[in-house]
Amino acid sequence: MSVTRITVKGERPYDVVVGTGIAGELPGMLGPGVRTVAVIHPAGLPGLARPACAALEEAGYHVVPLPVPDGEQAKTIEVAAGLWSELGRHGVTRSDAIVGVGGGATTDLAGFVAATWLRGVRVALVPTTLLAMVDAAVGGKTGINTPEGKNLVGAFHPPVGVLCDLAALETVPREDYVAGLAEIIKGGFIADPEILRLIESDPAGAVTPHGAHTRELIERKIRVKAEVVGADLRESGLREILNYGHTLGHAIERAEDYRIRHGEAVAIGLVYAAELARLDGRAGRDLVDRTRSILESVGLPTTYRRDAWPAVREHMRVDKKARGATLRFVVLDGIAKASRLENPPEELLEAAYREVAR
Q: Is 235 a catalytic residue?
A: yes
157 is in an annotated binding site: no
The active-site residue, picked from 215, 220, 246, 261, is 246
337 is in an annotated binding site: no
Q: Is 246 a catalytic residue?
A: yes
The active-site residue, picked from 223, 239, 292, 315, is 239
Q: Is 321 a catalytic residue?
A: no
Q: Is 262 a catalytic residue?
A: yes
The active-site residue, picked from 215, 262, 278, 292, is 262
71 is in an annotated binding site: yes
Q: Is 239 a catalytic residue?
A: yes
25 is in an annotated binding site: no
333 is in an annotated binding site: no
The active-site residue, picked from 223, 243, 261, 264, is 243
150 is in an annotated binding site: yes
The active-site residue, picked from 25, 183, 219, 275, is 183
Residue 227 Cα distances to 29, 105, 133, 191, 215, angstroms: 20, 23, 15, 10, 18
315 is in an annotated binding site: no
103 is in an annotated binding site: no
- Please report, in range form, the residues annotated as the binding site: 70-75, 104-108, 128-129, 141, 150, 183, 246, 262
Provide the annotated active-site residues.
119, 141, 183, 225, 235, 239, 243, 246, 250, 262
- Please report, in range form, the residues annotated as the binding site for Zn(2+): 183, 246, 262
- Please report, in range form, the residues annotated as the binding site for NAD(+): 70-75, 104-108, 128-129, 141, 150
